[in-house]
Structure 1
Amino acid sequence: MPRIACLHTIDSNAAVFDEALRMTGLTGVSLRHTVRADLLASAERQGRLTPEIAAETVAVLRSLFAEADAVLLTCSTLGPAAETAARDAPVPVLRVDAALAAEAVREGGRVAVLCAVETTVEPTRRLFEAAAQATGAQVSVQVVPQAWEAFKAGDLDRYRSLVARAAGIAREAGAMQVALAQASMAGAAALLPEEIRPLTSPAVGLAAAVAAARAT
C-alpha cells in the first residue's frame, strides 16, 4: 500500500485530496496529511518565498520521509522547496503542480494558468515555462482578482465562482488549455461545462506521487 504524505498550507486541502483520491479510483493508497498554514502566511507577509521560509519547508518535508513512500507538497507558493528536499531523499518528493504543468502544456498552444495568491505567480510561471520548452506552448500566468480575499473570508462559493468565471474568460480569449495552479481552486472546475473544464492539480498530482512511490 503506497503511503503518500501530503504537506498542505490550507486546512481544507486535506479534504480536497481525500476527495481527489476517491475520484481517481486509485486503490490501496494511504494519505497522511500535515498542515502548516504558517508557512504560506509567512510567504504572504514577505511577498515571496524567502530562503528562510524555503529552508523551513524543506525541513518539514524531510520530517515526513520516515513514514512515507512518497511526499507531496500541495502548496504552489512553496513549490520550489520540494525540488530542494528531493535531493538525496530516500523517497520521491514531488510538488503537486509539476504534473499539472506537464499535462497543461502537452499539446502546445496557448495555456492560461490561473492563481489566487500573488505569491504563487512567480514559482508557477517558472515551472510552467520550463515545462513548455518541450512542447512550444505559450504560457500566461495571472491572478484571479478578489478570489483570495473571498477564500480567506470563508466565502468559498464566491471563490469558486470567481475562479470559474476567469477560466471561462480565458478560454473565450483563445486559450487551448486552462490550468488552476492552486489545489484549493479545484472545486471551481465543476462549475464549468465539461468541454471547457480547466485542469486541476490534486488528481494529477496524486497520480504522479503514487506512480513514483510504486516505482521505487
Structure 2
Amino acid sequence: MASRIRTLGIIGAGRLGTLLAKLSSAAGYDVRVAASGDPARIARAMAAVGASAASVDAVLAAADAVILALPLSSFRSLPADRMRGLLVIDAMNYWWGADGIRPELDDPRSSTSELVQRHLVGARVVKALGHMGYHDVEDEARPSGAAGRKAIAIAGDDPDDVAIVADLVDDLGFDPVVAGELASGIMLEPGAEAFGADVDATELRAMLERFPDSQRGIVVARARGGSARLA
C-alpha cells in the first residue's frame, strides 16, 4: 500500500474533475483522467491542464488513488471488482438537477459515501473534495502556511487512508480537517452548514461541532435512532 499518492486517477471530466486535475498536476502528481466514452474526446482538454486522458480501466490499473467526480447517481456503474483495495476519494454529492429525484440518495440514515462504500466492496472509500464549491476551490488554493488559507474536510474509517488524503488536500492548497469516520461525511453533504463553506480550518471545525444541534443534524440523529456516529 502506497503511503503517498504519486499517480492520481480522476473519474469524471466535468468542471470539478478538470479543476482537480489541474491543481493536482500543478502540485506534481501524475494525473490520469477518465470519462465515459472514447478518451480521445477529452485528450486535448486534459493536456491543457497537465493531465492525460485514459479509459476507466487504464486509470484504475495505473492509479494509487482515484477521485470520483461523477454525478452521484452514476456510482453503481463503477466496476467494483476492479477497485478492490484501491483508495477511492469520493467527491460526489446528491444533486437532484443532475441525479433526478432519488430518495435513496437523500436518506439521512446513511451518508452517500457509505452507499458508495457498500457498492465498492473492498475499496477504501474516503469522503473529501466535494463540499467546497468548485469555483472556490479554483480561487482559494494557496501554499501551506499562507495567510487566509481555506480548509477542506475529510471523513474516512481508516486513519492511514485519511492521512494520505490529507496530504493530497494540503498539496492542492488547502488545510485538511478530519471530520470523523465515513458516516460523518453526511456533515459535508447538501443541507449541512459545511456544504459550500469557504472558510478556514478553525471555522470549519466549528461548523462540524455545531452540526448535531443544527436542523439537519437533528434530522439525521432522529433517523439514526438518536445515535448518529458523527464525531
Please give the range of the TM-score, normalised by the shorter of the 2 chains.
0.3 to 0.5
TM-score (norm 1): 0.35
TM-score (norm 2): 0.33
Between structures 1 and 2, the one with greater helix share: 1
Q: Which has the higher contact order (CA 8 A, sep 6+)?
A: 1
